[in-house]
Amino acid sequence: MEIKVIKNILEANEAIAEQNRKLKEEKRLLMVNIIGSPGAGKTSLILKTVEKLGVMCGVIEGDIASDIDARRLAEGGVAAVQINTGGACHLDANMVHTALKEIDFSSGVLFVENVGNLVCPAEFEIGEDFKVAVVSVAEGDDKPYKYPLVFSKAGAVVLSKVDLLPYIDFNRKFFYDGIRSLNPTVKVFEVSCKSGEGVEEWCAWLRERFRERSGFPSA
Amino acid sequence: MEIKVIKNILEANEAIAEQNRKLKEEKRLLMVNIIGSPGAGKTSLILKTVEKLGVMCGVIEGDIASDIDARRLAEGGVAAVQINTGGACHLDANMVHTALKEIDFSSGVLFVENVGNLVCPAEFEIGEDFKVAVVSVAEGDDKPYKYPLVFSKAGAVVLSKVDLLPYIDFNRKFFYDGIRSLNPTVKVFEVSCKSGEGVEEWCAWLRERFRERSGFPSA
């Protein structure tokens, strides 16, 4: 009974995700679903990326409560549509659908910052081009082993806050081995939004994905 | 329809939580539900606490996948019963019930390390005496505003990894204001399991809770 309900929920979600895919195609948006734990550095990554990417960007901001992140983005000059889930632990396609209709630019990159949660958001397609798993070094090197789904589904992984590495026990090999066992070819970017380390490599990769998607000629 | 299903799930959960309460009373256990994001430092806190508490301790270890934490605890000489939720984003009363029956000591403190998730575990009573919200300074000072439920329900808050404070922008006042607005009297402990800072204050408080609970005379 419970399983049937969950199956129905996921099927209904998929139908709306498909509408989102069409909507984003019409607007020529690359839609990137940013998933990570609370405090992984998702908002900082988006702010830094928007600043450096050189492509029109927008943000759909998902939070259980508060508009702290949307205000942070606005202060950084980034327009964001806020979704408050009212307790729900993830964004679903329907929530994103409503926000997507409010997006008033085309031909650019649309970041969807999911609710801070390394578990549930990975289960719900929202019509994105790909998911990015953001995990900070402070969370530890064992995250791929303990939260495999998001790493197995990710189109890219950002290891954030690498400026903290000197103060933390973090075994890079163990971390990468965990990711490789789930997702052998996924790109992993080591980034510090504080020092700027790794930001350009990440942005270059994302720019390339945008160009592929939108059919623009490569620079 | 969906709301009705959720209501039924929570009611069924509450009935089993009540059985857990009875079971733990019989065993004279103080049952502490440890909730926090992935990488908040839950396992480290439990290891350090078991070492310093001076009271018989056990652990029920909840993970989506892997037994990394249970092995870490075993290496630290702590017996743990592992629950793998197989994808589920929280422990519920039924999962804990099965594990609780395997606990073979009485008159002590039983830590239940929930799945790394600051959202969903807060919704499910498992029959615990109280919840402890663990949040690391690396996650940022805005967590109470963005994830209010767990902070409003917590019997104590542990701000972990305070040894990283010199390398992070963390506004203590903003953090405490957020907690106070949700839970005016809750105790907050600033702890570093690396340096040992704050561990004794936290353990002293927990020892007192155990004594109240078990009716032992205070030392």
Residues of chain A above pLDDT 90, percent: 90
Question: Is the separation of the CB atoms in A13 and A94 below 8 Å?
Answer: yes
Say what the pLDDT of residue A218 is. Answer: 46
Question: Is the separation of the CB atoms in A74 and A22 below 8 Å?
Answer: no
Say what the pLDDT of residue A3 is. Answer: 61
Q: CB–CB of A65 and B148 under 8 A?
A: yes
Residues 74 through 113 of chain A touching chain B, CB cutoff 8 Å? 87, 89
Q: How confident is the model at residue A4 (pLDDT cuts 50, 70, 90)?
A: low
Rounded CA Rg of chain A: 17
DSSP B54: -
Q: CB–CB of B68 and A164 under 8 A?
A: no
| Best A123, A137, A167 residue to mutate vs chain B (most B CBs within 10 Å) | A167
pLDDT at A108 over 80: yes
| Best A118, A165, A177 residue to mutate vs chain B (most B CBs within 10 Å) | A118
Residue keyed to tokens 């908040």: B40
pLDDT at A170 over 50: yes
Residue of B nearest to A120 (CA): B89
pLDDT per residue as tens digits for the range B148-167: 999 999 999 999 999 999 99
The two structure tokens encoding residue A208: 């390339």
CA A198, A76, A40 angle in degrees (round to 5)? Answer: 50
- Report the greatest alpha carbon distance in chain A: 54
Residue A198 φ/ψ region, left for φ over 0, alpha for ψ in the -120 to 50 degree band, beta for the rest: left
Letter for the amino acid at A191? V
d(CA B150, CA A150): 23
CA-wise closest residue to A151 among A126, A188, A206, A115: A188
Q: CB–CB of A139 and B38 under 8 A?
A: yes
The two structure tokens encoding residue A217: 């000629």
The two structure tokens encoding residue B110: 């039983």
Q: Return the bridge partners of B110, or none.
A: B31, B58
Backbone angles phi, psi at B208, to 5 degrees: -65, -40
pLDDT per residue as tens digits for the range B3-43: 666 678 889 999 999 999 999 999 999 999 999 999 999 99
Q: In what order do the strands lie in the sheet with A29-36?
A: A80-84, A57-63, A108-113, A29-36, A130-136, A156-160, A187-190
Across the interface, of B68, B119, B149, the residue whose CB is closest to A115 is B119
d(CA B217, CA B213): 10
ipTM comes to: 0.91
Say what the pLDDT of residue A88 is. Answer: 92
Q: Which residues of A touch B71 (CB under 8 A)?
A: none
pLDDT per residue as tens digits for the range A173-193: 999 999 999 999 999 999 999
Across the interface, of A38, A138, A148, the residue whose CB is closest to B65 is A148
Is A147 in the B-facing interface, judged by CB distances under 8 Å? yes
Across the interface, of A63, A138, A143, the residue whose CB is closest to B161 is A138
